[in-house]
């Protein structure tokens, strides 16, 4: 392998790690319902739902694409606001259009990346935070009645952080000219996946 391509290859390999981890967990999804509804089920829940996976990776990817403070601001805002959404779900506070909102998050954030959009950081944080409510609410409402809410929340927040990290690692490819095109192309794929979730085709 040419020396100038080795860093890109390393980043590509690291970016695949969340998917490698998700494969065995997806097979264990049926067993997740038998867990106590604590840390383990909270950790598994975001990873076995591809709509969640795609959107959470997109948040990290967009942060890395925007660069500077966005690379850590967006992945911090998302889980923080998502926890609030989880509380709303646990309390049964009605929030409309949860599933469409989750699907739209992948569509919108993916499109932002594909178009090379770099809005002001506060605006990007508002977009990410708004969609985080839907994701958190879904986690909260699907919490088993016998679950430990605190440990469940810790579990899905850690899983979310790892998915964000996967997006950040993948987004670091923007350091190279070809990497910018690859990241934007990945954003287009994410947007198409979001459209598929929104229309029920995926």
pLDDT at 38 over 50: yes
Which pLDDT tens digit goes with each residue over 96-138?
Answer: 999 999 999 999 999 999 999 999 999 999 999 999 999 989 8
Backbone CA torsion sign across 84, 109, 105, 150? negative
Indicate the SS3 state at residue 33: coil
pLDDT at 11 over 70: no
Q: Which domain holds residue 97?
A: 3-199
User: Six-digit token pair at 170?
Assistant: 């993948």
Number of domains the chain contains: 1
pTM over 0.75: yes
C-alpha span between 64 and 167 (Å, rounded): 8
pLDDT at 88 over 60: yes
């Amino acid at each position: 392998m040419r020396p100038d391509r080795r860093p890109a290859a390393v980043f590509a390999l690291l970016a695949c790690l969340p998917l490698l981890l998700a494969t065995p967990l997806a097979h264990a999804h049926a067993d997740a319902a038998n867990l106590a509804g604590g840390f383990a089920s909270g950790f598994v829940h975001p990873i076995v739902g591809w709509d969640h996976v795609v959107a959470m990776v997109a948040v990290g990817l967009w942060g890395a694409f925007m660069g500077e403070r966005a690379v850590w601001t967006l992945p911090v805002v998302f889980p923080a606001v998502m926890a609030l959404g989880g509380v709303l779900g646990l309390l049964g506070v009605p929030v409309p259009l949860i599933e469409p909102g989750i699907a739209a998050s992948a569509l919108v954030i993916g499109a932002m990346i594909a178009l090379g959009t770099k809005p002001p950081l506060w605006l990007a944080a508002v977009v990410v935070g708004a969609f985080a409510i839907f994701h958190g609410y879904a986690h909260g409402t699907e919490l088993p009645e016998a679950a430990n809410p605190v440990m469940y929340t810790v579990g899905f927040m850690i899983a979310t952080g790892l998915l964000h990290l996967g997006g950040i690692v993948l987004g670091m490819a923007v350091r190279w000219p070809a990497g910018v095109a690859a990241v934007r192309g990945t954003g287009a794929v994410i947007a198409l996946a979001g459209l598929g979730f929104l229309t029920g085709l995926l």
